[in-house]
Chain A
């Protein structure tokens, strides 16, 4: 079981990292979600993997550690909320700029991609004033 869980965490992390490095926001968000799945399972297994035991002392000969379950519950709630926030921001960014590229555009950005400047024109950098 340990090997199976470890492989699952590893695969999810790898997929998450790969997707996070994409250039469009949607795959990036999927990747972040994948990473949070991986970390949740990892967090869950930090209390050691035990089968068929209640997280309560006194119900059986042994028990499973209840703390990681509480931690992972907190982590799930937080990552769920964060995914909702970044989703809303991605939609907002898409609606305002008309595309969902991750990299910045305009002359304000020193390290933007080669095609980024052409897409939005110079006016975008001056929106601040």
Chain B
């Protein structure tokens, strides 16, 4: 059992960030060392939590030892442990890339902000309380605002402003939803909600439906589900490349929360909501796929292209989540693992290209970039992963999703297959204009440092994808059990020991 270690993914980055801001303000080297140390420790903790969650089942940490549902709880179950592990692994690649590429030297507080972001996202994955989820959302958002405008520049600041405004509206919606939840049920503990909602009086059903839709709207904003995806391309394309890579896991917070609430709190067999969420999310996911694919084809710059690829991958994930069955959920989880790593790798590759190229536009050729051979190979591997072609895990993820949707094959299969084709087309076209067309032009001499660490980080993410492909068998078995436990949350509820406090 993990005891106090459950809160470590929240406390450790918070402590490190505070330490960096106060004690090592002007010492970049010390901040780098501390940042990497903290994230390596986070990886070790996440691994231990993952092992504990898969062997011992859900475990609860009562903050201040207040009994649930009166106090706030953190719940470690298989899903939250998996997401924390994913977060820690991605953070390691991102921090190494930031150091290798020198991005962290372009502004004052990259490392502390990254630690605060880890604290917020880790907390959002672990919390077992809906209002606490809001608080962690705000923590991760306020850190992401700082990271988004890291490095400055008028375009970036103004894109950041839109991002902040959009998310503040989302936060207001979240609070409306939470107030409604509390006024209907009298509790905000997720396990308590899951237990109480089936016994709610008939007259509250309408309010409950409004609550469910409001909550899903908020998570859809985070997850960039159409029609709430407008903030994403501008934000990701204008954010520093390394920050955009880190943001790849932020959209997954939306997917995670949708899954947590859609499967446990508002399951399909709840009479008040029924298949309402299914009917909303599934079509929205399919439209998101189409929008993402069209965006990939039409994008004018490489970062925008990758951002639309990220939207398409969220569409795939939400399509699979929206069915709310254990089989599709398991496929969705595999795809979430894959697409986080793949999107992050693609953003890092895009950043490698952009910083070497004369301009970011895809429509006009520029002189060949330095280290063109290596970067084009990385681009090809990342594009294969993003488009979901064999041999990488994107193909397996899509296969699992297609297999889980056998009963709705005509609609879902055709959309997913057509969009995959459009993605291949978009990435191939962008790749040829980035790497092939310039070969006719004179190469420019390059005085840039080789950036070994940055390449290591990018290769690390691709290695993660390869590992996910090779270990697909055991991973899908593990994810299958995880998905089943989401739809039979007795253990999760029992771990909260709800009856004992009151």
Residues of A that sit less than 8 Å from B by CB: 16, 20, 25, 28-29, 32, 35-36, 38-40, 42-43, 45-48, 67-68, 71, 74-75, 78-79, 81-82, 85-86, 89-90, 92-93, 96-97, 102, 104-110, 120, 124-129
**B135-A78 in contact (CB<8A):** yes
- Size class of B's contact patch? 35 or more
- Is the CB of B180 closer than 8 A to any CB of chain A? yes
Residue of B nearest to A38 (CB): B172
CB neighbours of B155 from chain A (8 A): 104-106, 108, 124-125, 127-128
| A125–B354 alpha-carbon span in the complex (Å) | 13
Residue of B nearest to A43 (CB): B179
Residues of B that sit less than 8 Å from A by CB: 131, 135, 138, 141-142, 145, 149, 152-162, 164-165, 168-169, 171-172, 175-176, 178-180, 182-183, 233-234, 237-238, 298, 300-301, 303-304, 354-355, 357-361
Given contacts A89-B145, A126-B359, contact A35 B179 (CB under 8 A): no
| A81–B141 alpha-carbon span in the complex (Å) | 12
**B164-A46 in contact (CB<8A):** no
| A35–B170 alpha-carbon span in the complex (Å) | 11
| A35–B157 alpha-carbon span in the complex (Å) | 23
| A102–B182 alpha-carbon span in the complex (Å) | 35
| A107–B359 alpha-carbon span in the complex (Å) | 12
| Chain B CB within 10 Å, residue with most, of A42, A74, A108, A128 | A128
- Measured between C-beta atoms, what is the minimum distance from B472 to chain A in Å? 37
**A89-B149 in contact (CB<8A):** yes
**A78-B157 in contact (CB<8A):** no
Which A-B residue pairs are the 6 nearest by beta carbons? A96-B154, A46-B179, A46-B183, A97-B154, A93-B157, A43-B179
- Measured between C-beta atoms, what is the minimum distance from A113 to chain B in Å? 13
| A90–B138 alpha-carbon span in the complex (Å) | 19
Given contacts A85-B164, A92-B157, A102-B161, contact A46 B131 (CB under 8 A): no
| A41–B28 alpha-carbon span in the complex (Å) | 44
**B178-A71 in contact (CB<8A):** yes
**A89-B154 in contact (CB<8A):** no
A and B contact pairs by CB, cutoff 8 A, 30 listed = A16-B172, A32-B168, A32-B172, A35-B168, A42-B175, A42-B176, A46-B183, A48-B183, A74-B135, A78-B171, A79-B168, A82-B138, A82-B142, A89-B157, A89-B161, A93-B157, A93-B160, A104-B155, A104-B158, A104-B234, A105-B158, A107-B300, A107-B361, A108-B237, A124-B155, A125-B360, A127-B155, A127-B156, A129-B354, A129-B358
CB neighbours of A92 from chain B (8 A): 149, 157
**B175-A86 in contact (CB<8A):** no
| A40–B172 alpha-carbon span in the complex (Å) | 9
Contact pick for B175, options A39, A106, A110, A120, CB 8 Å: A39
**B164-A108 in contact (CB<8A):** no
CB neighbours of B359 from chain A (8 A): 126, 129
**A110-B154 in contact (CB<8A):** no
Contact pick for B131, options A42, A74, A86, A125, CB 8 Å: A74
Residue of B nearest to A82 (CB): B168
**A67-B182 in contact (CB<8A):** yes
**A89-B138 in contact (CB<8A):** no
CB neighbours of B171 from chain A (8 A): 78-79, 82
| A108–B305 alpha-carbon span in the complex (Å) | 11
| A108–B141 alpha-carbon span in the complex (Å) | 24
CB neighbours of B301 from chain A (8 A): 108
| A81–B145 alpha-carbon span in the complex (Å) | 12
CB neighbours of B131 from chain A (8 A): 71, 74
CB neighbours of A106 from chain B (8 A): 155
CB neighbours of B300 from chain A (8 A): 107-108, 110
CB neighbours of A81 from chain B (8 A): 142
- Measured between C-beta atoms, what is the minimum distance from B320 to chain A in Å? 28
| A79–B223 alpha-carbon span in the complex (Å) | 22
| A41–B156 alpha-carbon span in the complex (Å) | 34
CB neighbours of A129 from chain B (8 A): 354-355, 357-360
Given contacts A39-B179, A43-B175, contact A20 B165 (CB under 8 A): yes
**A46-B360 in contact (CB<8A):** no
Contact pick for B182, options A40, A71, A86, A108, CB 8 Å: A71
Contact pick for A102, options B145, B162, B169, CB 8 Å: B162
- Measured between C-beta atoms, what is the minimum distance from A45 to chain B in Å? 8
Residue of A nearest to B158 (CB): A93
| A47–B298 alpha-carbon span in the complex (Å) | 50
Residue of A nearest to B138 (CB): A78
Given contacts A85-B164, A89-B161, A129-B358, 16 further A-B contacts (CB under 8 A): A38-B172, A42-B176, A46-B180, A67-B182, A75-B175, A78-B138, A79-B171, A86-B164, A89-B145, A92-B157, A96-B154, A97-B154, A102-B162, A107-B300, A110-B304, A129-B360
**A93-B154 in contact (CB<8A):** yes
**A96-B153 in contact (CB<8A):** yes
Given contacts A20-B165, A71-B131, A86-B168, contact A47 B183 (CB under 8 A): yes
Residue of A nearest to B145 (CB): A85
- Measured between C-beta atoms, what is the minimum distance from A59 to chain B in Å? 19
**B153-A93 in contact (CB<8A):** no
CB neighbours of B183 from chain A (8 A): 45-48
CB neighbours of A74 from chain B (8 A): 131, 135
**A35-B169 in contact (CB<8A):** yes
CB neighbours of A127 from chain B (8 A): 153-156
